Amino acid sequence: MTISEVFTTPGIGGIITVAVLLGAAAIYLGLTRWILQGGREEEPPWERMGWPFE
């Protein structure tokens, strides 16, 4: 696939868009988890609540 084809082929732009947005989602989710885990060793109450942050 040439560089030009990456830009002009229909569908590839869509994949790039979705990849960027999902990638950002994953990163932000990870960062939020990291923040909330600060200073906690035992099981946090939000996991006991059944919040789906596994």
Interface residues toward other proteins, by CB under 8 A: 6-18, 20-21, 24-25, 28, 31-32, 34-36, 38-40, 44-46, 49, 51, 53
* Least distance (Å) between residue 54 CB and other proteins: 14
CA distance 46 to 42: 12
First to last CA, the chain: 38
With respect to other proteins, which residue has the nearer C-beta, 34 or 54?
34
* Least distance (Å) between residue 46 CB and other proteins: 3
